[in-house]
Structure 1
Amino acid sequence: MATHRAQRRARACRIRPGQRHSADRWFAGAGRQRWQHHAQPRRWRNIRGFQSPRPYFAGRCRRQPSGQSDSRRAGWRARRLANRRRDDPTIRTSGREYSGMSTLRQPADSDDKATFLERLIFNHRPAVIFLCLLTSVFLFWQALQVRPSTSFEKMIPLSHPFVQNMMKHRNDLGNLGNTVRISVEAVDGDIFSKAYMETLRQISDEVFYIPGVDRSGLKSLWSPSVRWTEVTEEGFAGGEVIPQSYDGSDASLDQLRNNVLKSGQVGRLVANDFRSSIIDVPLQESYPDPADQGKLLALDYQQFSHQLEDKIRDKYQAQNPTIKIHIVGFAKKVGDLIDGLFMVVMFFGIAFLITLVLLIWFTRCIRSTVAVLSTTLIAVIWQLGLMHVVGFGIDPYSMLVPFLIFAIGISHGVQKINGIALQSGAADNALTAARRTFRQLFLPGMIAILADAVGFITLLIIDIGVIRELAIGASIGVAVIVFTNLILLPVAISYVGISKRAISRSKQDAVSEHPFWRLLSNFASAKVAPASIALAVLAFGGGLWYSQNLKIGDLDQGAPELRPDSRYNQDNAFIINHYSTSSDVLVVMVKTPPEGCSAYSTLSAINELAWKMENTQGVQSAISLVTVSKQVIKGMNEGNLKWESLSRNKDVLNNSIARADGLYNTDCSLAPLLVFLYDHKAETLDRAVHAVQDFARQNDKPDMQFLLAAGNAGIEAATNEVIKQSELVILILVYICVAGMCMITFRSWAATLCIVLPLVLTSVLGNALMAFMGIGVKVATLPVVALGVGIGVDYGIYIYSRLESFLRAGLPLQEAYYQTLKSTGKAVLFTGLCLAIGVCTWIFSAIKFQADMGLMLTFMLLWNMFGALWLLPALARFLIKPEKMAGKVGNSLFSH
């Protein structure tokens, strides 16, 4: 009987046999059920448990007026209803009437409605899973080969003029940019004891044979190059500080004490209180392989740091409890960072467990939870494997990337699971729900991932190797999320499905009233939105004003990347307090023609610059060729202090610098001025660099130039300048790229502003937080600002794309936002809280810069989530006209 009735309708409507009637096609959409009595002409239909007017094309076939399409008529009715509500506030649609809107207007699941990509993926699901499994096995093996890879050159801006000058004259400077200083302290007494000197000799010999040490430049009291000089009645006398006749007797120790006093090494190699001495250890970036002398090995900072601990500190402090060893230097700091950063594995495990528990609570489904975590872990494995394939390793800064990939993957995975759960209530099976979710969320997810990738790629403009590797690694990571979380996850769910408990809960949520979401929907109301905008403007102004206190570079002494109570910073504080030469050295290179460094005009200019630097705040002392020349000239005149000055006689000057080893190069065309600083704080470096630059502008000549800079302080100054120049440029580029992606996607400047403005507020408040917490903008923190924008844009894109669909369905703004919160908003809220809880564990890390990153990322995740939920609807209230969108298909990418 029903078949006969359908045939009659088909003949009346003149449709071909086998073609479905429009009513059948409409009821085949998501969330609609068709019973046999629907063929009868009835005025009202019961759709998903609520009463609503029958669609104009359901039931009997009605002829369309000429030139008027279904979408135009539907749009006209929706706009008329919206205008009536606007004119008459008493006309209000209950939440129950729209409780099913999350599944309305879904396309049918037939292949004629599916895109080519959807058909390619879901019609070949076994092949997709097999390819992903095969790729995972290969990249897992590659990920196991990843090793820490940190070099001195990767952590400095190689194109900066300071660094280029240093690299050009690197052989003449004797590795002044990369040295380690080992201080051996006598706990009881002073250094003039037989036991102490024997231990110092053993340590010097042990360090001499550590791979990577530049043996020709190693210097300690036992080095033959450390000499003493005095003036006697017969002329100059001198020799090695520790002579060949030294035997440890009291007489030889007394002689050693006298030699040290005559050597001028007090405050340099010997502490001012004579309770410790230093071993200067210059390093080579590459050294011959002990097993194959024809092969060069790159210096492994982690291994070198371990050798210093095992072979030097632990060994000799255990053998001789009366000594204590302190070690500072770039290589030791990086080694400690790498050791401490492996704690990120522990924090990653904690974040994984927290995410697991919260996902089970959120989804009420073990299968979907395992699917999300598995595909996200696969993304992390792929990222690490691909990093090894392209030749990159892990450094102290790129260790952040796997956690970022995990966070972004969880964000997209939760959206997918949430969408599948919503669709499962109306779909016949898991495959149908997965396909509908893929169709609905693939494009928003793809746009969000592209925005992430573009934000990461902008970091490539910073000319620092570790930041560029971080940018490439993060871009690779977000690219693999497309395959693992946007493609593999829906395919996996199409097999395992969602638990009945989760589906039942999703159905109940679809028809239930939620007081919490209803409360949050007031952010889109006409009363609350103006207050929200005003509050946001005040927060923006306050954050912008306070962020003026944000500094570039390090703000603390020692290694700010480490905790103040770390062993390295304690060692650094010991050396600063007991020596006249700190570990922070700024080297000014004075360049002249060959044989020109000993000219009086050159030495006089160096002497004037040294005096100026020693009177600059933050400078401890300065040493140059002039220092030695004055001492020798004074000695040549019976030690009379009146003669402690430069001579205009060329022969006298040449003779006075003959023994100034290391303070000029072989052809006397370069003479370094070593400026020792109390610390390498940004303000200290700025004062020192500006003093040298001012002097150079006034005294540079064609035959004499003052070049900056070598030494660790010079490199820090160059790095600070690069970061200062790049900070604002990166933010501008990130926002231009993100805004461009949003504009291309939604083709609406209003939508773009709704998504981007909350991110701008987050960046401003993030800078204010850094200034308040005393965190400077440096290599470790600059990427977090850009990465925070990339992570935050996901929330805005998902929320606005869903809000737009409800507005085009004819809902008022507040009601549309309420439905958005019920579907997508809860996933955004859950993701932000879940990831923030996981990241905040980093705050307890022993590595300070990791704790700083944890604090900043926690703030970024929470505020981006809050900004998307709070500020986006408030902006939409002023920028978007729902009555103009009602019933229109729209021109955004999500409408096609």
Structure 2
Amino acid sequence: MVEQKYNSGMPVIQDLADFDKSSGGLLERIIFSNRMLVVMSCLLATLVLGFFATKLEVNASFERMIPSASPYIKNYLAYKDQLPGLGNSIRVVVESKQGDIYDPEYLQALQEVNDTLYLIPGIDRSWMKSLWMPIVRWKEVTEQGIDGGAVMPADYDGSEASISALRRNIGRAGIVGSMVANDATSSMIVAPLLDIHPETGQALNYGEFSTLLEEQIRSLQSDKINIRIVGFSKLVGDLIDGLYAVMLFFGISVVIAALFVYFYTRCLRSTLLLVGIAVAGVVWLLGLMQLLGYELDPYSILVPFLIFAIGLSHGTQKMNGILQDIGRGTHKYVAARYTFRRLFLTGLTALLTNIVGFAVLVIIDIPVIRDLALTTSIGVAVLIFTKLLLIPVALSYIGVSKKAALFAIEKDRAGEQNRSALGHVWHGLDRLTERPWATGVIAVSVVVTAVCSLVMLDLKVGDLDPGAPELRADSRYNRDVAYITEHYGLSSDQFAVIVKTNQDSCRLYQTLQSMDRLAWQLQQTEGVQTTSSLAETVRFVTSGMAEGSPKWLTISRDQAITNSSVDAAMISSPGITNQQCSVTPLIAYLTDHKADTLNRVLQVAETFADKNNTAADAEQPVQFLLAAGNAGIEAATNIEVEKGIFTMYLAVYGATALLCMLTFRSWRATVVALIPLIMTTIICKALMVWLGIGLKVATLPVIAVGVGVGVDYALYLLSVQLAVQERGGSLAVAYRRSLDFTGRVVALIGLTMAAGVITWAWSPIKFQADMGILLTFMFLWNMLGALVLIPALSHFLLNPDRNVAPPEFASRDQVAPALAQRAKAEV
């Protein structure tokens, strides 16, 4: 991302006729001999891919958000058809504003909402539950035995008698706190969702589904009822709505970046060209995403931002080289070729480093993260054409204004005489190559890193806030979640253990007893409100068949009694087990889905399963399989994130180290380049602890992005420094030349990228705001770390015994031959 700001050091050729067009490498000659073909090809590609970009869909998939290879998720996917409501479902709460639910007008409004929701495509109608659905039933013990029926009386007509019967049935069904609010001011409709749209046969589009909920369900609100909707599909819908607002931030980023570049170069036409080509790179990416079958989701929305910022930053360096050459009188065509000649190989290395830094995210077993890794890598690969080829060719046509070229030269000369406070600091950076200063900087860095290392130990994997942390706390969705938590005894955070047996073996005493013991252990776990299981229901039914005697509130060892109780339970509580009585969910209702809560519940369930699971070939095998329910799925996702983060560190730093070794041919230079990156990662994780941000799917890519982009600062600073040192220059002189030729550009790029992403902090999507803050920190800190730590580390690792610079290095114009020689050696 950061490219060398070279002074020419090459012949100043004012007349194009004096330039040897056969000079330069083969690729350079091919590109500049076919300039118009390059421009027209890129223009055509932009138009074609722009057409496909307009067809790119914005959506998110439930199953792409979860680690499908996780053993826990495999268990869920294997039995999800037999576990209705324990995966992807929607919950609609209809609240009475003027009283309670025992009102004919309210019940009529509830029926209208129920029937409307029932007909929306994507609803699994077989398992939809509400007061108006016959699947919601009551049961009670009478003198004749156990009686039961649908909660809504079959003869309901709105009369006081039928409403009294409804009130009585709700009490007997035991659904107060789950489907009816504790204060009876609202009731809930629970609707599992299908994965496939029943009419189109395509994957359910959550954006469209959320829109239907707003248009057909939320629109039924009136001055008498209020409607609240929660669930993954509604959350995704709100995130997608937020994406359209985020598009505005993309425009703001474009303007901010363009202003930074213009005030640095003072050339309007080339600034507009660079912005246009950077936007074209984004268009190419979006078009390719559509052609490759990708969708734009709330997590991949950062990719266009990054590709634009990286493309514009690289392009600025191309223009900077041309500014320097034209300012010294070189023809614009020759200047473009000089810049291509000097920067192509280094720029290609930088982009390859970026690609590797992003690509390593594919090792995280979460499809949405893999998609982000692949699409970002594709976007950076696009920059090879738009940044390395198109920009020099385009600038060879339009050049830069003479005023801007002269301004660049005068700015460099004035920089030498700068006596402002900032100027003194800037021109004093080379003193960091001296032992006292280098020792002090490294000592401070060690202390800061040590403190942050201790702080980052408190970093949690998962959510740290109730509700949906992806959205703001005051968002409508989180207000709806808060209402449900306040008014209902059972939360929507369900952790389900799947009890797998042979057919009809869920009836066995040993199976039910083990299930009951696990339920008891979960109930004693902090964060668990209550549990629901077949064992609990069987205990109640057994007591009911014995005239409600509390002595029989147990699981009978008499198999005939237990069989009868299980049969009654399956009739009175549909979904409590499957028809074969072989897959039975044990559900724990959690107070929240925070990381600590999930870890405690997961540990209890895992420990119990390890001790009580029997072999599949046992006479009566029983297996307690984790995990289903939204909380169970999130727990499995957290495990994959925690497991993948260490592997990702090894991969991203290993790949970066390898590319640095190939670039510098020196392990010492590689260490100098990597230490600021490692320090930035540690401080960033400490910052996450201080800001209350958990490590999860949304924040995991930030680390890889910061490393992949941040290494460029070190690449270009060290390239100049090492080139000068190889020509005999002292470390102090070499680093001063590095600052002169690349330092200001490094600062410009760090500020440009930080200014582009800090606008995310105002995003309605909270996790994007968190990403914006973290990325801003990493871009700035990587830049500062490179400028400050590289000279200090170089004093101890890259400081040969040369204290006086040879005469040829008194002039800054002598650096380019050294760089050209180094590039030729690398080739």
Same fold per superposition (TM over 0.5): yes
Residues 687-698 of structure 1 aligned to structure 2 (within 5 Å): 687-698=600-611
Q: Is 1:523 aligned with 2:432?
A: yes
Q: Which residue of 1 aligns with 2:10?
A: 30
Q: For residue 112 of structure 1, report the CA deviation from its aligned partner.
A: 5.5
- Counterpart selection for 2:59 from 149, 154, 164: 149
Q: How do residues 494-893 of structure 1 correspond to structure 2 at under 5 angstroms?
A: 494-512=396-414, 513-515=416-418, 516=423, 517-658=426-567, 659=571, 660-702=573-615, 703-881=621-799
Superimposed CA distance per residue, residues 194-247 of structure 1 (whole angstroms, 9 cap, x where no aligned partner)? 011111100000000111000111010111122222233333332221112111
Q: Say which SS state the counterpart of residue 288 (structure 1) adopts.
A: coil
CA distance, structure 2, for counterparts of residue 514 and residue 486 of structure 1: 34
3-state secondary structure, aligned to 1:298: coil
Contact in 1 for aligned 2:663/2:826 (Cα 8 Å):
no
SS at match of 2:197: strand
Asked if structure 2 preserves the Cα contact closer than 8 Å seen for 1:445 and 1:798, the reply is no
Q: CA deviation at 1:510?
A: 4.1
AA partner of residue 286 (structure 1): I
Partner-residue secondary structure (3-state), 1:549: coil
Aligned to 1:462: 364
| Whole-angstrom CA distance in 1 between matches of 2:417 and 2:503 | 83
8 Å contact from structure 1 (residues 430, 495) kept in 2: yes
1:168 corresponds, among 67, 71, 78, to 78
Report the AA paired with residue 683 of structure 1: D
Deviating more after overlay: 744-753 vs 228-237: 228-237
1:242 aligned onto 2:152: yes
| Secondary structure of 2:499's aligned partner | strand
Counterpart CA distance in 2 for 1:29 and 1:301 is: 58
The residue aligned with 1:80 is: none
Deviations 1:253-291 (A, max 9, x none): 1111111111121122111221111101100010321xx
Q: Using the alignment, how far apart are the partners of 2:311 and 2:770 within structure 1?
A: 23
Structure 1: give runs of 5+ residues left out of the alignment.
1-27, 35-107, 290-294
What percent identity do the matched residue pairs reach?
46
In 2, are the aligned partners of 1:456 and 1:786 still within 8 Å (CA)? yes
Cα shift readout 1:783-817 (whole Å, capped 9, x = no counterpart)? 01111111111111122112223334443322332
Letter in 1 for 2:65: M
Q: Which amino acid aligns with 1:303?
A: E
Larger RCO (alpha carbons 8 Å, 6+ apart): 2
Aligned residues: 788
1:433 CA drift (Å): 0.9
Quote the residue 1:199 is aligned against: 109
Q: Deviations over 1:318-370 (max 9, x none)?
A: xx312221211111111111111222211111111111222111101012211
**How high is the TM-score relative to the length of structure 2?**
0.92
Change (3 A) 1:773 1:454: same
Task: Choose from 284, 297, 302 the match for 2:202.
Answer: 297
Q: Which range moved further: 256-265 or 819-828?
A: 819-828
Query: For residues 670 and 747 of structure 1, do their structure 2 counterparts lie closer, same or farther at Cα, with a shift above 3 Å needed?
Result: same
More deviation in 166-175 or 346-355?
166-175
**Partner Cα distance (1:881, 1:237) in 2:** 89
After TM superposition, give the deviation of residue 759 of structure 1 in Å: 0.9
Judge conservation of contact 1:746–1:893 (CA < 8 Å) in 2: no
CA distance in 2, matches of 1:459, 1:648: 53
Q: Assess if the C-alpha contact under 8 Å between 1:180 and 1:282 holds in 2.
A: yes
Q: Distance in 1 between matches of 2:746 and 2:413?
A: 20
Aligned to 1:343: 245
In the alignment, is residue 273 of structure 1 matched against residue 183 of structure 2?
Answer: yes
- Cα deviation, residue 577, structure 1: 1.9
**Deviation digits for residues 25-84 of structure 1 (CA, Å, limit 9, x no counterpart):** xxx9625699xxxxxxxxxxxxxxxxxxxxxxxxxxxxxxxxxxxxxxxxxxxxxxxxxx
Give the one of 123, 130, 133 matched to 2:43.
133
Secondary structure of 2:201's counterpart equals strand
- Looking at structure 1, the residues matched to 126 and 798 of structure 2 have their Cα atoms a distance apart, in angstroms, of 72
> Compared with structure 1, are the counterparts of its residues 416 and 233 closer, same or farther at alpha carbon in structure 2 (3 Å cutoff)?
same
Q: Which has the larger radius of gyration?
A: 1
Match of 1:177 among 83, 87, 90: 87
**Comparing 694-703 with 715-724, which one deviates more in the overlay?**
694-703
The two structures have a TM-score, normalised by structure 1, of: 0.85
- After TM superposition, list the pairs within 5 Å mapping 1:87-486 onto structure 2: 110-111=20-21, 113-289=23-199, 295-313=200-218, 315-317=219-221, 320-486=222-388
- 2:811 corresponds in structure 1 to none
In structure 2, distance between residues paired with 1:856 and 1:893: 38
- Secondary structure of the 1:280 match is strand
Amino acid at match of 1:378: A
Q: State how far apart, in whole Å, the 2-side matches of 1:164 and 1:786 are.
A: 27
Q: Tell me, yes or no, if the aligned pair for 1:453 and 1:790 is still in contact at 8 Å.
A: yes
- Asked whether the 8 Å contact 1:562–1:569 carries over to 2, the reply is yes
Contact residue 281 and residue 382 of structure 2 kept, 8 A: yes
Distance 2:297 2:74 in 1: 23
Distance 1:548 1:747 in 2: 35
Matched to 2:744, the amino acid is: K
Give distance in 1, aligned partners of 2:85 and 2:204. Answer: 14
CA distance in 2, matches of 1:514, 1:584: 65
Q: Is the 8 A contact 1:750 1:880 kept in 2?
A: yes
User: 2:771, 2:623 → 1: CA distance?
Assistant: 41
Amino acid across the alignment from 1:673: L
Tell me how far apart the structure 2 counterparts of residues 138 and 782 of structure 1 sit (CA, whole Å). Answer: 34
- Which residue of structure 1 aligns with residue 813 of structure 2? none
Q: 1:520 to 1:754 in 2, by over 3 A?
A: same
| Conserved 8 A contact 1:618-1:679 | yes
- Counterpart Cα distance in 1 of 2:514 and 2:183: 33
| Aligned partners of 1:747 and 1:892 also within 8 Å | no
Which has the larger displacement, 651-660 or 450-459?
651-660
Secondary structure of the structure 1 residue equivalent to 2:147: strand
**Cα separation, 2, equivalents of 1:254 and 1:511:** 91
For residue 641 of structure 1, report the CA deviation from its aligned partner. Answer: 2.5
| Alpha-carbon distance change, 510 to 570 in structure 1, aligned in 2, over 3 angstroms | closer
Query: Which deviations, in whole Å up to 9, do the C-alpha atoms of 1:580-627 show, x marking residues without a partner?
Result: 221111110111111100111111111111111111100011101122
Answer whether contact 1:372 1:414 (CA < 8 A) is retained.
yes
- The alpha-carbon deviation at position 111 of structure 1 amounts to 4.8
- 1:132-178 alpha-carbon deviations (Å, 9 max, x no partner): 11111111111111001321111110000001011111221125211
More divergent stretch after superposition (495-504 vs 869-878): 869-878
Shift of 1:831: 1.4
User: 1:672-701: CA deviations, max 9, x gaps?
Assistant: 101111111111111111101111122222
| Equivalent AA in structure 2 for residue 214 of structure 1 | D
User: Aligned partners of 1:224 and 1:29: how far apart in 2?
Assistant: 85
* Distance apart, 1:519 and its partner CA: 2.6
Return the letter of the residue paired with 1:386. L
